[in-house]
Amino acid sequence: MNISKNIINNLTIYRRDLHQIPELGFQEFKTQEYLITELKKMGYTPFKICETGVYVYINNNKDNSYAFRSDMDALPIEENSHSFSSKHLGKMHACGHDGHMSTLLGFASYLKTIDKSKFNCNILLIFQPAEEGPGGAKNIVETGIFEKYKIKSIFGFHLFPTLPQGTIGSKIGGLMAKAAEINIDILGKSGHSGQPHKTVDSIQIALLFLQNMNNIVAKNLSPFDPSLISFNKIIGGTVRNIVAEKTRLEGTIRSFSQESFSFIIKRIKDIAHGLELSWNCKINIDIAEGYPPVINDKKYYNIFKEAIKTSDSIQLVEVEAEMLAEDFSFYQEKIPGVFYFVGTLNKEKNFDKSLHNCGFNFDEKALEYALESYILIFNSLNI
């Protein structure tokens, strides 16, 4: 693909600059300033949105408008040192959002090379805060920006270290799961362990609760409708000879359909109620619903698929759905959209660490493939 050497070189510069100034969700003020500066250099008029976000609308006075999105925020992780490590102690771009922003900047730069008379659509570029939490995409949607600019569909990607570099992966329909956080507080009755008949053992009840959790998905949901319930933190008890009055379970629920998710919640509440009756205890359930599932639109997925297949350098693969969550789903609840993965796995250069890992890194060559994918999608939409 004919992309100027200057644009390609700038991908690395953007990425390494942004990597050194990671900021948490809705705190991306330095990142915002950097993006605005670079966009102005290109001749754009960027606007702030949702306090720390940025957007550019390229108005070509056409009937069709499409959006491309990058997230901006980092994670509260202390980074392993290298030549362009984070300058913000305890914060790191360990999920590739520096690469996502760099790609969208590169795409913005590329669009400036196109003769304005050859545009057959309008383009909205969104740099979104707080993907890692609490979900800045929802805030973006609530601004009414999609109605304002009459956006027909939206595209976005995530760097992905389980796919080889040079590979792009996605699928039609459910790609990433709906996620929710769940806390269970079991309130029993404390007392001496030598007098168990005078107590209500919250730890024992917690064990029974967990055993029942295993059956909700395995025995009630179709194996072709993937869902997951996982409790990974248990807090209970004070000392060895006192029956625990309170035990807390903290976990997550993942599902690809609202129907299955609602069923899981109902069964959890039913099980809790049964345990309350049989053990004379109190069980409090707190559920924080997270992001909806990422569901790729059929029409625009086929446009995306045919566009990527024209590349001589990118291999397109259909991937299995992931139980990971992504707030891009809030956009897809509003308008049709397509989300996909851009591979960064490169074992020769030891770029094989997982996302959210203090050693996560990637070869900036992967950003060239990401940029090419945006350009190919744009070309297909711009017909």
DSSP state of 350: T
Residue 296 has pLDDT above 80, yes or no: yes
Collapsed DSSP state (helix, strand, coil) of residue 86: coil
Give just the sign of the alpha carbon dihedral 72, 75, 81, 86: positive
Average pLDDT over residues 70-98: 95
Task: Tell which of 274, 289, 304 closes a domain.
Answer: 289
Find out whether 58 and 123 touch, Cβ atoms under 8 Å: yes
Residues 106 and 166 in one domain: yes
CATH of the domain at 365: 3.40.630.10
Q: For position 58, what pLDDT does the model report?
A: 98
Residues 165 and 63 in one domain: yes
Lookup result for tokens 């998905």: 217
Collapsed DSSP state (helix, strand, coil) of residue 48: strand
Residues 222 and 314 in one domain: no
- CA diameter of the chain: 85
Task: Please count the residues of the chain.
Answer: 383
Tokens of 290: 């997270």
The rounded mean pLDDT for the chain is 96
Collapsed DSSP state (helix, strand, coil) of residue 286: strand
Find out whether 76 and 91 touch, Cβ atoms under 8 Å: yes
pLDDT in tens, 182-197: 999 999 999 999 999 9
pTM across the whole model: 0.91
Q: What are the DSSP calls for 97-164, one per residue?
A: HHHHHHHHHHHHHHHTTS-GGG--SEEEEEEES-TTTT-HHHHHHHTTHHHHTTEEEEEEEEEEEEEE
Residues 106 and 209 in one domain: no
CA angle 259, 263, 267 (to 5 degrees): 175
- Domain membership of residue 260 as a residue range: 178-289
- 83 pLDDT band, cuts 50/70/90, is confident
Q: For position 169, what pLDDT does the model report?
A: 98
CA distance 170 to 50: 29
Residues 304 and 274 in one domain: no
Q: For position 81, what pLDDT does the model report?
A: 75
pLDDT in tens, 116-149: 899 999 999 999 999 999 999 999 999 999 999 9
Residues 18 and 63 in one domain: yes
Q: For position 28, what pLDDT does the model report?
A: 98
Q: For position 264, what pLDDT does the model report?
A: 96
Q: For position 352, what pLDDT does the model report?
A: 94
Residues 165 and 227 in one domain: no
Higher pLDDT, 257 or 176: 176
Residue 40 has pLDDT above 80, yes or no: yes
What is the 3-state secondary structure of 154-184?
EEEEEEEEEEECCEEEECCEEEECEEEEEEE
What are residue 252's DSSP bridge partners?
181, 230
Residues 159 and 52 in one domain: yes
Q: Give the contacts of 143 (CB within 8 A, at least 6 positions apart).
A: 49, 50
Q: For position 170, what pLDDT does the model report?
A: 98
pLDDT in tens, 226-277: 899 999 999 999 999 999 999 999 999 999 988 999 999 999 999 999 999 9
CATH of the domain at 248: 3.30.70.360
CA–CA distances in Å: residue 299 to residues 173, 189, 305, 307, 380: 11, 57, 10, 13, 13
Residue ranges of alpha helices (H) inside the chain are: 5-19, 29-41, 97-111, 136-142, 145-148, 202-220, 258-279, 298-309, 328-334, 365-381
Q: For position 1, what pLDDT does the model report?
A: 78
Residues 136 and 225 in one domain: no
Collapsed DSSP state (helix, strand, coil) of residue 330: helix
CA distance 252 to 199: 30
Catalytic residues: 71, 132
Average pLDDT over residues 77-102: 95
Average pLDDT over residues 25-34: 98
Residue 2 has pLDDT above 90, yes or no: no
Collapsed DSSP state (helix, strand, coil) of residue 193: coil
pLDDT in tens, 149-170: 999 999 999 999 999 999 999 9
Task: Tell which of 241, 271, 289 closes a domain.
Answer: 289
What one-letter code names the amino acid at 118? K
The total of structural domains in the chain comes to 2
